[in-house]
Amino acid sequence: MPFLHCFSKVIMAFVVNPRTACAPTTEERHAHARGEVTALAKYWKEMYREIPCLPCSAPFSSLEELIDMAVQAASDSEDAVKPAQVFVTGSFFLLSDILTLAKEHEAKFQAHAQEA
């Protein structure tokens, strides 16, 4: 993986692909996805020990939740005062989830700005 040494942490997002989910109920799909996230985090920690891995146990409910996780210092070498630079990569479902959260955040921001 190129430029891996530039990463300060990796966040394993919780994403369910509705098209290929093998379980019929939402709870079973979430249990399956949790297992996948746990397995990926385990392999990441084995391969790249120098970069902390933060697995998510549920989908992000807001952009603030993602930002809070990205900004927190996960190791002594991180400076939580510096702005977070987030690189999102993965499935279209993950990117769609992040864009949806960003749109919801922007709509709240616009509504708050109009009230003021």
Mean pLDDT, range 22-29, rounded to an integer: 70
Mean pLDDT, range 67-88, rounded to an integer: 74
pTM of the model: 0.66
State the average pLDDT for the chain: 79
- Residue 65 is predicted with a pLDDT of 87
87-96 tens-digit pLDDT: 777 777 788 8
35 CB-side CA count, 13 A = 9
The model's confidence at residue 42, banded by pLDDT at 50, 70 and 90, is: very high
Give CA separation, 99 vs 12, 34, 50, 95, in Å.
17, 22, 29, 6
